[in-house]
Amino acid sequence: MISGLNENDVAEIGPEGLEDGLDPARPLLEVSDLAVEFRARSGVVRAVDGISYTLAVGETLAVLGESGSGKSVGAQAVMGLIDSPPGFITRGSITFRGLELTDLSERQYQQVRGRRIAMVFQDALSALNPVFSVGDQIAEMYRVHADAGRADARDRAIEMMDRVHIPSAAQRFGDYPHQFSGGMRQRIMIAMALALDPDVLIADEPTTALDVTVQAQIMELLAELQRDNGMGLILITHDLGVVADVADRVAVMYAGRVVETAGVDDLYARPAHPYTEGLIASIPRMDLDRQELQPIEGAPPNLARIPPGCPFHPRCPRARDRCAVDEPPLYDVAADRGSACHYWAEVLSDHE
């Protein structure tokens, strides 16, 4: 839905706001030991449990994992969108250019959200407001955050619709979300996210439920806009094919934790965690006429009852006795590479 902010809210923050707290020498985004839990009568769900990663200027970081692994919740925490209650950030740090975001008030966070860090949500039809035209929803970004008049905001919204390749943008300014196809609605969401030229874009499953041709168009659009702006891109997905095509680095998540980090080429050439091995082994290969897919046995754990030790050990073909009791840290197994696996930490350390 469109923002509940009005012009007075932003005016009280001021145009300069938190700019003095930013350090251009620091990475765009640093997430360190971030944990998020949801508290309900039935128990506590640890949706994110100590994730860490960094994002540099112009870099594409893919966050990969099955549904329920904590990918989207981690992104919502970065955006300051965790509803509290029932959700709580229980520990960790999120910094943008050295500015600690978890210390900000909601009003201060509004200076960062949209202007500096923006997000494309996976279900465009639910994220867009059905009673406002798509043009008005994009124009609101300029009216609220850039103090633009209505005519100027309309012109800039149409320009943004053109930029994301909406045909006949001026004529479609007054159309409503249900009048667009799934791929076009996704482009509208991207236009809203990029309206203020953010430094970081988080794209949460931007190609979900789209056919492969539209998927390719959306990913090419994101790459084109990234080249134009030099922004950092966090791509949340479970599609290993998309990751191989667009990512620079990958963070693999399982049960709310990062279990492997690596450059994309290293990850596919030699995965360093049994879960990553299983994901890659489950992909059909075009170079083989006959093949038997190798699914990962079992199911992801209930996040309210994560097993002790390594959370993947009940499904892991390499599990040892130690794995059931000793939770592995994210070992530094090679340069710019981490693995939360006792087995691979020993193998790769010996190899090095």
Domains and CATH numbers, the chain: 7-12+57-62+72-80+103-247 (3.40.50.300), 254-351 (no CATH)
Give the pLDDT confidence score for residue 12 in this predicted structure.
38
Lowest mean pLDDT among 12-21, 108-117, 128-137, 157-166: 12-21
pLDDT digits (tens, 9 = 90+) for 291-317: 677 888 888 898 888 999 999 999 999
Give the pLDDT confidence score for residue 242 in this predicted structure.
85
Q: How confident is the model at residue 20 (pLDDT cuts 50, 70, 90)?
A: low
**Which of 138, 140, 121, 24 lies closest to 71, judged by CA?**
121
- Reply yes or no on whether the pLDDT at 6 is more than 80: no
The pTM (predicted TM-score) of the whole model is 0.87
Q: How confident is the model at residue 2 (pLDDT cuts 50, 70, 90)?
A: very low
Looking from the CA of 283 toward its CB, the CA atoms found within 13 Å total: 15
Give the pLDDT confidence score for residue 349 in this predicted structure.
62
Give the pLDDT confidence score for residue 351 in this predicted structure.
55
- What percentage of residues in the chain have a pLDDT greater than 90? 54
Strands 99-100, 87-96: pairing is antiparallel
**The Cα angle at residue 298 between residues 297 and 303, in degrees rounded to 5:** 140
Q: What is the mean pLDDT of residues 318-334?
A: 92
Q: What is the mean pLDDT of residues 15-37?
A: 81
**One-letter amino acid of 341:** C
CA distance 343 to 320: 8
Give the pLDDT confidence score for residue 291 in this predicted structure.
67
Give the pLDDT confidence score for residue 186 in this predicted structure.
87
CA distance 254 to 260: 9
CA distance 39 to 46: 9
CA distance 67 to 76: 15
Lowest mean pLDDT among 27-41, 110-124, 318-332: 110-124
Most confident of 18-22, 260-264, 329-333: 260-264
Contacts of 192 (CB under 8 A, 6+ apart): 137, 138, 141
Q: How confident is the model at residue 212 (pLDDT cuts 50, 70, 90)?
A: confident
Residue 44: phi and psi, rounded to 5, are -105, 130
**Three-class HEC string of the chain:** CCCCCCHHHHHHHCCCCCHHHCCCCCCCEEEEEEEEEEEECCEEEEEEEEEEEEECCCCEEEEECCCCCCHHHHHHHHHCCCCCCCEEEEEEEEEECCEEHHHCCHHHHHHHECCCEEEECCCHHHHCCCCCCHHHHHHHHHHHHCCCCHHHHHHHHHHHHHHCCCCCHHHHCCCCHHHCCHHHHHHHHHHHHHCCCCCEEEEECCCCCCCHHHHHHHHHHHHHHHHHHCCEEEEEECCHHHHHHHCCEEEEEECCEEEEEEEHHHHHHCCCCHHHHHHHHCCCCCCCCCCCCCCCCCCCCCCCCCCCCCCCHHHCCCCCHHHHCCCCCCEEEECCEEECCHHHHHHHHHHC
- Reply yes or no on whether the pLDDT at 168 is more than 60: yes
Q: What is the mean pLDDT of residues 2-16?
A: 38
**Cβ 225 vs Cβ 190: under 8 Å:** yes
Give the pLDDT confidence score for residue 72 in this predicted structure.
92
Q: How confident is the model at residue 5 (pLDDT cuts 50, 70, 90)?
A: very low
Give the pLDDT confidence score for residue 33 in this predicted structure.
95
Give the pLDDT confidence score for residue 31 in this predicted structure.
96
Q: What is the mean pLDDT of residues 65-88?
A: 91
Mean pLDDT score of the chain: 86
Most confident of 113-127, 256-270, 290-304, 334-348: 256-270
Give the pLDDT confidence score for residue 124 in this predicted structure.
78
**Which of 230, 307, 249, 312 lies closest to 278, judged by CA?**
312
Give the pLDDT confidence score for residue 9 in this predicted structure.
39
